[in-house]
Structure 1
Amino acid sequence: MKLVETTRRHWQPLRTDIVSKFNALWSNPELGNMEFAASGILCDWLEEHDFKVERGVCGLPTAFRAEAGEGGPAIALLAEYDALPGTDNAAVAHRSGTGRAAGHACGHNLIGPANCGAAIAAALAAREAGLAGRVVVLGTPSEEIVWGKIAMLGLGAFEGIDAILTSHGDYQNGAISRPCQSVMNGEIVFLGESGHGGGTRRRNALDAAELAVQSLERLRAHHFPDASLEHVLRVAGHIPNVTPDEARLWFTARHADFERAKAVFDFAIGVAGQAAEMTGVAFRHQFIAGTRGYLPNDTLAQALHSALELVGPPRWTGEGRDFMRALAKACRPEGDFTLDDGIRLHTEGLDPYGQDDGEASWRIPLGRVNWAFPEQVPLHNWALTALSGHEASHPGPLMASEALAIAAVRLLADPAVIETAKAELTGRVGGKALGEPAFGALETMRHRPGSFWNASWVE
């Protein structure tokens, strides 16, 4: 218990800094691979606490790797800090945004500071206790397009890491050891010829895109009823009396099994190619990234659960609950207000989302802590942006931060637990060939990420 007390003593003074970073990142939401202010704030903070920081690691301008300590083992905490387009809102319990600007509708302004604060506290406690090993922070851009961690994994930023710890907001508090969806992600570009909208519509790029979407929707029930295939049209013309010479279809395939998600994704590309051929337009596919879902690791989940039991559930105030209740009412007027206020170990079921650290979890043992949002507040929605900018959201990630710090120090003090986690990973993978991490868009993300977000990128 002395080691726990030491860690908590080092974490407590960081609480104010963590909260200030929550607010700083929320006030300046930045899209993936353009998080220059957010990554700079976190890097500066880590350097103030004697971490050796490599900014722009792997040639990715907003990625970083920070280390404190010496020798092994190496425990990595993941920092996320990108925002979502079109989800802006003030920190108020009603819709106030434009729907055109970025916002932290997944709470990444909370994840980066919480996990960095945990790393700082763990490094200070480990140094005081004379523990061998390193605390590493990996600053990982562009999670929202499931890209950053996959690219960093493929480019070597995870080299030498023995275990990974992280956190995220969801609808429950606790340590997570269950899978989520695998994801494949890419953009189809159709290129035709512009012309007068009142004439014969030859080589219309929008025709090809719409034919592809309609065909996939019709074929879904017969070919992949078990999978999710979602899309947006990013470019679809400018004015009705000019037929579009370019249309861009961004789509994502999800399934619990990575190979199944990949098969659905490849099928969709094939359908898009046939639509292009039928409408007489050119066609190309620009791959973004693909990730496996989380590989559960009960060993690390138990370590995190033990730490969470010491910390206890989020300490929401009455004012915070009132704000969340009003926000929930704005989103779901007919629903009851429900907020998980316990601590549990979650090992059953399948989470419906996919995250890019899923791919890392198949190669390095990964443990994750969740903190709860009200169930009536949707993720990736203006209301989550509002909550992420309000003090009502702080108790959850603060709980996670303190628990992560405790768990990290305990792992450094007892490396045998890490070896058990590695053995569990090996057993779950079962000798399956994983191949190289799957990502594209590298030159775009390194040198012109703005072109990705304004839908003009060519890789």
Structure 2
Amino acid sequence: MATDSAVSNYLTSNRKRFESISQYVWEHPETRYEEFESAAFLADELEKEGFSVERGVGGIETAFVASFGTGKPVIGFLGEFDALSGLSQKANLTKQEPIEPGGIGHGCGHNLLGTGSLAAAYAVKAYLSDNNISGTVKFYGCPGEEGGSGKTFMVREGVFDGLDIALTWHPSYSNSIMSLSSLANYQVYFRFKGVASHAANSPHLGRSALDAVELMNVGVNYLREHVVQEARMHYAITNSGGFSPNVVQSEAEVLYLIRAPKVAQVDEIYKRVCKIAQGAALMTETEMTIVFDKACSNYEPNRTLETILNEKLLEAGAVQPTEEEKEFAAGIWQTLSEGEKNNFLAGMKTFGYSGDGSEFGGKYLSDIISDYVPSNEVMAGSTDVSDVSWIVPTAQLTTATSAIGTPLHTWQMVTQGIGSFAHSGMLLSSEAMANTAIHLYHHPEDLQAIKAEHEARRAKEAYTCPIPEGVQPSAVK
């Protein structure tokens, strides 16, 4: 098709430019809501390309929206650019070697995610300009996906109002449509305040906040038997009260992440966890404060939009790796544990892969596109794309950017993040998303069907933003 060729040719001719953008973000890793360099760099690049950019949207310094064109439909691409603490790693190695011990690294491939969505927006802009077609394309700079639910805050503040369609993607080791729903979640701090005392000569005068945290954790562990099977309750002790065992700790804090398939289920579990925390405070005679950090909803797929996105992914075709890329991927595979190797199929299915894995025998990179099989299953993970999907018809895909079996949030993911195969996979996602958008500019009847499906789902269940008013985005401590 002429349209598909135009997009493919545009992305190919500008490949080095997009590779350099991805590399810049990879080389400047920043954690949630502190993506100052990456956000500024991407916003500057969009302005150079002719987009008008509104910065600091939704009251978030590193969030922005770039727009081009006029009129309807308004199609948006969601981009992320935050990284993860503790995952610093040099590029293109088959051994762990951090750039900075304990430093930050792109262990979820958001340098690729943001750049791939940006490239799609550029390609659509070029097509609209070259063909004098009315319509608006937007790029959403979305910070704080990793533990921050940036898009959920942006939804609460109306940043996506007026958008007709949202498209996005995620790096993985599969080529497929991300058709599964996801787990909703709440992230909440429980802070305990007690009374300090000498732990040897006057322990009876102290009231241990750390004891309260430990008792709370024990109570929640007993709760696990009595919640829905798909629920997850994770915690991290973020303040143990200090490093002196001969002091009764007067302050302690634990951070909980509570997940379940529906927000209502999360809320029910959360209220029970709060009661356990109150019980721990009573048992230890400490004071307890609850600080709500963030939340996100479950993802609502749009099958009509997914079908079109899948067609465009098939037309683009999977990346065929070079021998050098295959050899490097084999080296990465050897760094994985036996458990990680055995889990590759489960990880792939999380991203929408629908086969039995037999086509990957003897291979270390995916060179096929999975059949699109809409699923009612829920992936064992969360995403703030979910809240966008409740207010705007949304679809996601994934493309292979790493060796089969590569777990997210690992040094192996970081080291592959600016390799040639990663960038080829990134641009495959750009091509599929851009051509989906262009298709909708030409086929208003399909856009109407997409919206009708979305409205039918919304009619069954109203949306309420899970983040309460007054709660503000927070950076990593």
TM class, shorter-chain normalised?
over 0.9
- Cα distance in 1 for partners of 2:237, 2:73 equals 46
Shift of 1:382: 2.1
Alpha-carbon distance in 2 for matches of 1:266, 1:277: 17
Between the aligned partners of 2:317 and 2:450, the Cα distance in structure 1 is: 24
Q: Secondary structure at the match of 1:369?
A: strand
Counterpart of 1:362 in structure 2 is 390
Aligned-pair CA distance for 1:30: 0.2
1:432 aligns with 2:461: yes
Distance change in 2, residues 1:216/1:224 (3 Å):
farther
Contact 1:233 1:249 in 2 (8 A): yes
Q: Tell me how far apart the structure 2 counterparts of residues 251 and 365 of structure 1 sit (CA, whole Å).
A: 31
Kindly tell me: are residues 197 and 376 of structure 1, through their superposed partners in 2, closer, same or farther at Cα, counting changes over 3 Å? farther
**CA distance in 2: counterparts of 1:110 and 1:441, whole angstroms:** 33
Q: How does 1:88-237 map to 2 (within 5 A)?
A: 88-91=88-91, 92-97=93-98, 100-199=102-201, 200=203, 202-237=206-241
Query: What TM-score, normalized by structure 2, do the two folds share?
Result: 0.89
The answer for unaligned runs of 5 or more in structure 2 is: 343-362
Distance 1:183 1:338, change over 3 A: farther
Residue 393 (structure 1) shift: 2.2
Unaligned runs of 5+ in 1: 455-459
Partners of 2:228 and 2:421 in 1: CA distance: 41
Offset from partner CA, 1:35-59 (integer Å, 9 cap, x none): 0111111111111111000111122
> Residues 250-288 of structure 1, C-alpha deviation per residue, up to 9 Å, x if partnerless?
111112222112211222122112112211111111112
Does the Cα contact within 8 Å between 2:77 and 2:138 map onto a contact in 1? yes
Q: Which one of the candidate residues 347, 355, 363 is aligned to 2:374?
A: 347
Note if contact 1:146-1:291 (Cα within 8 Å) is conserved in structure 2. Answer: no
Residue 299 (1) aligns with residue 300 (2):
no
Shift of 1:328: 2.2
Cα distance per residue 1:204-258 (max 9 Å; x no partner): 1111111111111122113444411111111112212333322221111112222
Q: Distance in 2 between matches of 1:2 and 1:339?
A: 30
2:140 alignment partner, SS class: strand
C-alpha deviation, 1:88, in angstroms: 1.8
Q: Is the 8 A contact 1:8 1:406 kept in 2?
A: no
Matches of 1:318 and 1:181, distance apart in 2: 38
1:135, distance to aligned residue in structure 2 (A): 0.3
Identity of aligned residues (%): 29
CA distance in 1 between partners of 2:44 and 2:256 (Å): 36
Which residue number corresponds to residue 439 of structure 2? 410
Alpha-carbon RMSD: 2.0
CA gap of 1:439–1:126, structure 2 versus 1, over 3 A, is farther
Matched residue SS, 1:453: coil
- Name the aligned partner's letter for residue 409 of structure 2: H
Separation (CA, whole Å) in 2 of partners of 1:329 and 1:192? 49
Query: In 2, Cα distance between the equivalents of 1:185 and 1:117?
Result: 33
1:309 aligns to what?
Answer: 314
Q: Which SS does the other structure have where 1:198 is aligned?
A: coil
One-letter amino acid of the structure 2 residue matched with residue 197 of structure 1: A
Q: Structure 2 CA distance, aligned partners of 1:179 and 1:254? A: 13
Q: CA deviation at 1:107?
A: 0.6
Instruction: Give me the whole-angstrom Cα distance separating, in 1, the residues matched to 2:384 and 2:286.
Output: 33
Give me the whole-angstrom Cα distance separating, in 2, the residues matched to 1:223 and 1:294. Answer: 21
Per-residue deviation at 1:437? Answer: 4.7
> How far, CA to CA, are the matches of 1:6 and 1:225 in structure 2?
48
TM-score by structure 1 length? 0.92
Taking the aligned partners of 1:275 and 1:175, their CA distance within structure 2 comes to: 45
